[in-house]
Amino acid sequence: SSGSALADPEQNDIQYLTPIQIGTPPQTLNVDVDSGSSDLWVFSSETPEDSVQGQALYDPSKSSTSEEVQGASWQISYGDQSSSGGVVYRDTVAVGNVSIKGQAVEVATTVSAQFTRDASNDGLLGLAFSSLNTVSPQQESTWFDNAAKVLDHPVWTADLKYHAAGTYDFGVIDKSKYAGKITYVNANSSDGFWMFDMSGYSVGNSTFKTAQFQGIADTGTTLALLPEQVVRDYYRSVRGAKLDYFQGGYVFPCGARPPNFVLGIGPTRLTIPGTYINYAPIDSFGRTCFGGIQSDDGIGFSIIGDVALKAAFVVFDATPDQPRLGWASK
């Protein structure tokens, strides 16, 4: 089987939301497909009312195919310090018409304020490796790991777009969605992420500088978080750019036209248009803008988020024993 689901951006492409169907009859929720985590969790009838502000709720009691996983619980905290936790049901979950029975659906009994504030986000669909799943005492598999058994190929692809709806495809590589060839690089899943090696970078039309650093492909992170040195080098070329301690990153006058940024991924190059790096105004006058490239704060690896991913067609290939990431222009 194979399927395709919408990736609909919120304002400024802060995140992309994908409708999924849970239960019988199907309950549709819009979730954030997140290649940086491995829990499928949703707002639910068991989420305290004061923690819900407009989200759609999954109600297992209204699904004839739901069953509680006795004694199981989950608790997750994310890179941006948000968090959630709760109990676990099994139910049928369809993404892009690929329907999987007995999928662990983690229902939230607590969510942090960032999630409560985000009315259009009904939960997360974690598509990193199952080794990061937080369900205890028995860890659960991601929806993709369960689906890979029935998909024509153990792959899913991300075709995110700048200020427009894109798609996540499952089990198929759609040739109409990219141009030229797909270049594959090995992924290292030992930390549970889609981690891969960068080979260098260039700013605008300057010469390519070799630099060895690792990064994770993270559809759930908005920006591209790169090594401090690389980021400092980039903003030297942006008129009026400065590191704003209070905003927590590099800002510049919204009239600035940041240069393109070229990321070396193994032998291939990913060009992030400067327009994607003029991420969004931080003030209501639209005078000062926040950069789409920021520092990874020395966490030990970079986070290749949506600002970069939306410039490519990306293949998450979970071929057993050798996961790979495919990159193509579009």
Our CB check for ligand D5V shows the closer of 133 and 268 to be 133
Q: Does 142 bind ligand D5V (CB under 6 A)?
A: no
Beta-bridge partner residues of 42: 107, 123
Write down the least CB distance from residue 33 to ligand D5V, Å. Answer: 9
Q: Does 26 bind ligand D5V (CB under 6 A)?
A: no
Q: Does 83 bind ligand D5V (CB under 6 A)?
A: no
Encoded tokens for 13:
């492409």
* Interface with ligand D5V: number of residues (CB under 6 A): 16
Write down the least CB distance from residue 327 to ligand D5V, Å. Answer: 19
Our CB check for ligand D5V shows the closer of 130 and 221 to be 221
Write down the least CB distance from residue 129 to ligand D5V, Å. Answer: 13
Helices (H), 130-219: 143-147
Q: Is 252 helix (H, G, I), strand (E, B) or coil?
A: strand
Our CB check for ligand D5V shows the closer of 169 and 306 to be 306
Q: Which residues are catalytic?
A: 34, 218
> Using an 8 Å Cβ cutoff, are 17 and 81 in contact?
no
Find all residues with CB under 8 Å of 57, minimum gap 6, and list them.
29, 42, 43, 44, 45, 47, 122
- Rounded to whole angstroms, how far apart are CA atoms 316 and 208? 26
Selected range binding ligand D5V among 32-40, 62-70, 96-104, 289-297, rule: CB under 6 A: 32-40
Selected range binding ligand D5V among 33-41, 47-55, 100-108, 133-141, rule: CB under 6 A: 33-41
- Rounded to whole angstroms, how far apart are CA atoms 136 and 278? 42
Q: Does 36 bind ligand D5V (CB under 6 A)?
A: yes
By CB under 6 A, name the one of 39, 91, 106, 118 that touches ligand D5V. Answer: 118
* Omega before residue 19 within 30° of 0, cis: no
Angle 9-255-203 from CA coordinates, rounded to 5°: 80
Selected range binding ligand D5V among 18-26, 111-119, 227-235, 247-255, rule: CB under 6 A: 111-119
**Residues 182-211, interacting with ligand D5V (CB under 6 A):** none
Q: Does 78 bind ligand D5V (CB under 6 A)?
A: yes
Q: Which residues of 276-293 are buried (b: 16+ CB within 10 A; e: fewer)?
A: bbbbeebeeeeebbbbbb
Q: Does 122 bind ligand D5V (CB under 6 A)?
A: no
* Omega before residue 323 within 30° of 0, cis: no
**Residue number of the CB atom closest to ligand D5V:** 220
Our CB check for ligand D5V shows the closer of 80 and 228 to be 80
Write down the least CB distance from residue 119 to ligand D5V, Å. Answer: 11
Q: Is 69 exposed, middle or buried (0-12, 13-18, 19+ CB in 10 A)?
A: middle
| Pick from 41, 96, 30: nearest CA to 73 | 41
By CB under 6 A, name the one of 45, 53, 62, 80 that touches ligand D5V. Answer: 80
Beta-bridge partner residues of 19: 30
Selected range binding ligand D5V among 112-120, 181-189, 251-259, 271-279, rule: CB under 6 A: 112-120
Residues that bind ligand D5V (CB under 6 A): 15, 32, 34, 36-37, 78-80, 82, 114-115, 118, 121, 218, 220-221
